[in-house]
């Protein structure tokens, strides 16, 4: 039965994956419609369940019919130092009719590998699916001033993984600036140049989940062991590890092992290492061993070339002034830049007509609005009055009551800070004052900020609401 299943599976997956994940499996027994297979570790079992459960189900159903059951038997390390292997049965997750976990008697096997439970067969020459997205490559990662350093550091790492001083390579920058794209591009390039190296891309979030699972299932060692086998480890969004001391700890472990063995580590983060909070000092100091390269906001030329490249690849033409309009108005997020142009392409092909500037304005406005609220003087007055639990009319009134005067002065201060309005215009909008009053307000706020803790807190709280 198992051989027939294997033949079917072999036809349906890549030969490397087959070798890694199916050849080490040993059929153990078949009772009724339940086939027991032995796998080398819990991690192995989890990997099968996560990646190949559907395939297994189809193969087994073909052989045994709809009532087929699959039972995993896991050969485990005995953590108490007893070198007799013992096994644990786990029913396949898609077979809910199989009872809970049960411990089985040790399998007496003639296979010499099984005599030593500390050697997990097959795991040494494991081939891991890289989880890389081939659509994120260097060819379509356009170069500009904003990303030149990060991009060329990435290229250097791809040419000589583990062999440059950029280890780890930490790519950091704001949302939508290409961190994930660049991280994949490095991995894709390495796979291309060094097909035999094991590359793994994983988000810090997924890494954390896997780790937590492994603790729950008592397979923390398998988890660490697995990660130590990787040649190029790419972890995306490491800011996610902030505050998660257990995961940081295990990552520290893995990192040290990889680094000592000349393996490459690539990390991305939405913050520079100095700004990462709740990350252990020893990890931060490791991050600084290599290179931290920032992805900055793309300049106008880069934005234009990203847009034109997108249009070119999609075989779409778009008037220059439209492209220009989009590039001029979306400045801080390449995902939004692309989103806007995709939306315009969709609308033009849907309505089979040229995109007008009016439509472009409409689309761009939607994208920009979603992310950044325009801070107006009206808005500032509203927020400040809300904060001090008064209404805008009170804030603007002539009263000399201290807390109202302070609120008014704060509104003026923020209007100066967050809008381009002149002192005179700020004054006239906040209760018809003159420019000298506004100037005085700004100075007063500056002074109080330094001398009055409570006042400082008002400023910090309110600043958060405007940025
Ligand atoms: P981040 O991970 O920093 O949030 P992503 O890597 O997901 O950002 O990038 C957002 C989008 O912008 C993706 O579609 C990506 O392909 C695109 N992008 C980012 N930088 C570039 C670039 N230099 N050239 C072309 N496309 C880019
Ligand atoms: Mg990302």
Considering the domain delimited by 377-466, tell me its CATH architecture: Orthogonal Bundle (1.10)
Query: Start-end ranges of CATH 3.30.300.180 in the chain?
Result: 2-115
Q: Does domain 300-371 have CATH number 1.10.8.60?
A: yes
Contact 58, 235 (CB under 8 A): no
Delimiting residues of CATH 1.10.8.60 domain(s) in the chain: 300-371
Pairing of strands 264-269, 232-236: parallel
Ligand 1 atom at shortest distance from the alpha carbon of 144:
23
* Ligand 1, atom nearest to 309 Cα: 25
Q: pLDDT band at 108, cuts 50/70/90?
A: very low
- Annotated binding residue at 243? no
State residue 48's pLDDT score.
Answer: 82
Q: Which part of the chain is CATH 3.40.50.300?
A: 148-295
Q: Is the pLDDT of residue 127 over 70?
A: no
Q: Ligand 1 mean position to 280 CA, how many Å? A: 29
Choose among 399, 402, 418, 417: nearest CA to 454.
Answer: 402
Average pLDDT over residues 404-428: 93
What integer pLDDT is reported at residue 260 of this predicted model? 93
Which residue is closest in CA terms to ligand 1's atom 16? 181
DSSP classification of residue 87? E
What pLDDT was estimated at residue 352? 67
307 Cα–ligand 1 center, Å: 12
Confidence check: pLDDT of 198 > 60? yes
Mean pLDDT of the chain: 84
Q: How many angstroms separate the alpha carbon of residue 349 from the centre of ligand 1?
A: 24
| Intervals of CATH 1.10.1750.10 along the chain | 377-466
**pLDDT beyond 80 at 102:** no
Least confident window among 302-306, 342-346, 432-436: 342-346
If you measure from the C-alpha of residue 105 to the centroid of ligand 1, how many angstroms do you get, rounded to a whole number? 53
For domain 2-115, say whether CATH 3.40.50.460 is its number.
no
Going by alpha carbons, the residue nearest to atom 14 of ligand 1 is 335
Q: Which range among 24-33, 113-122, 162-171, 298-307 shows the weakest confidence by mean pLDDT?
A: 113-122
Question: What CA–CA distance (Å, rounded) separates 172 from 179?
Answer: 7
List ligand 1's pocket residues with C-beta within 6 A: 140-142, 147, 173, 175-181, 306, 334-335, 338
Please report the pLDDT score of residue 15 as a whole number.
77
92 close to 46: Cβ distance less than 8 angstroms: no
Per-residue pLDDT, 75: 66
Out of 125-139, 260-274, 294-308, 348-362, least confident range: 348-362
Confidence of residue 370 (pLDDT cuts 50, 70, 90): low
- Region of residue 131 (left: phi > 0; alpha: psi -120 to 50; beta: else): left
For residue 173, the ligand 1 atom closest to its alpha carbon is 3
Query: What confidence score (pLDDT) does residue 119 get?
Result: 31
pLDDT at residue 97 in the model:
34
Pairing of strands 169-173, 199-203: unpaired
Structure tokens at 25: 């499996």
**Closest ligand to the CA of 172:** 1
CATH number of 148-295: 3.40.50.300
pLDDT tier at 408 (50, 70, 90 boundaries)? very high
**pLDDT confidence band for 274 (50 / 70 / 90):** confident
Between the CA of 337 and the centroid of ligand 1 the distance, in Å, is: 10
Instruction: Please tell me the distance between residue 154's alpha carbon and the centre of ligand 1 in angstroms.
Output: 14
176 is an annotated ligand-binding site residue: yes
Residue 283: which of 310, 319, 256 has the closest Cα? Answer: 256
Q: What is the pLDDT of residue 55?
A: 83
For ligand 1, mutation pick of 181, 267, 300 (most atoms within 8 Å of CB): 181
Tell me whether 0.95 is exceeded by the ipTM.
Answer: yes
């Amino acid at each position: 039965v198992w051989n027939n299943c294997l033949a079917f599976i072999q036809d349906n997956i890549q030969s490397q994956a087959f070798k890694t994940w199916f050849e080490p499996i040993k059929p153990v027994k078949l009772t009724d419609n339940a086939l027991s297979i032995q796998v080398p570790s819990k991690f192995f079992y989890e990997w099968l369940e996560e990646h190949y459960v559907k395939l297994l189900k189809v193969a087994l159903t073909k052989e045994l019919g709809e009532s087929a059951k699959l039972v995993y038997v896991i050969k485990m390390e005995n953590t108490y130092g007893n070198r007799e292997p013992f096994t644990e049965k786990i029913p396949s997750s898609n077979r809910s009719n199989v009872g809970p976990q049960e411990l089985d008697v040790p399998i007496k096997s003639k296979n010499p590998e099984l005599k030593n439970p500390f050697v997990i067969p097959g795991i040494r020459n494991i081939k891991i699916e890289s989880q890389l997205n081939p659509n994120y490559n260097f060819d379509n990662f356009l170069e500009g001033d904003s990303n030149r350093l990060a991009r060329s550091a990435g290229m250097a790492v791809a040419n000589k993984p583990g062999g440059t001083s950029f280890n780890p390579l930490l790519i950091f920058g704001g949302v939508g600036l290409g961190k994930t794209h660049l991280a994949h591009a490095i991995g894709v390039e390495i796979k291309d140049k060094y097909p035999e190296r094991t590359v793994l891309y994983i988000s810090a979030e997924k890494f954390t989940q896997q780790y937590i699972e492994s603790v729950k299932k008592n397979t923390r060692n398998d988890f660490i062991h697995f990660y130590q086998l990787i040649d190029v480890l790419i972890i995306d969004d490491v800011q996610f590890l902030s505050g998660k001391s257990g995961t940081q700890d295990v990552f520290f472990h893995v990192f040290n092992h990889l680094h000592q063995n000349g393996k490459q580590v690539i990390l991305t983060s939405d913050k520079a290492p100095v700004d990462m909070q709740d990350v252990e000092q020893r990890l931060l100091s490791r991050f600084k061993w290599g290179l931290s390269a920032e992805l900055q906001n793309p300049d106008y030329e880069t934005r234009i070339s990203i847009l034109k490249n997108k249009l070119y690849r999609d075989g779409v033409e778009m008037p220059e002034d439209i492209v220009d309009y989009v590039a001029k108005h979306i400045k801080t997020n390449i995902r939004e830049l692309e989103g806007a142009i995709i939306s315009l392409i969709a609308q033009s092909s849907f309505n089979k007509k040229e995109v007008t500037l009016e439509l472009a304005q409409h689309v761009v406005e939607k994208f920009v609005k979603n992310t950044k609220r325009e801070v107006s003087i009206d808005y500032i007055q509203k927020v400040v009055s809300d904060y001090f639990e008064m209404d805008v009319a009170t804030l603007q009134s002539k009263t000399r009551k201290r807390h109202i005067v302070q609120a008014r002065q704060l509104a003026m201060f923020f209007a100066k800070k967050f809008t381009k309005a002149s002192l005179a215009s700020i004054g006239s909008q906040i209760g018809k004052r003159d420019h000298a009053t506004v100037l005085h307000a700004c100075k007063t706020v500056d002074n109080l900020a330094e001398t009055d803790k409570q006042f400082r807190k008002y400023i910090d709280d309110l600043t958060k609401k405007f940025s």
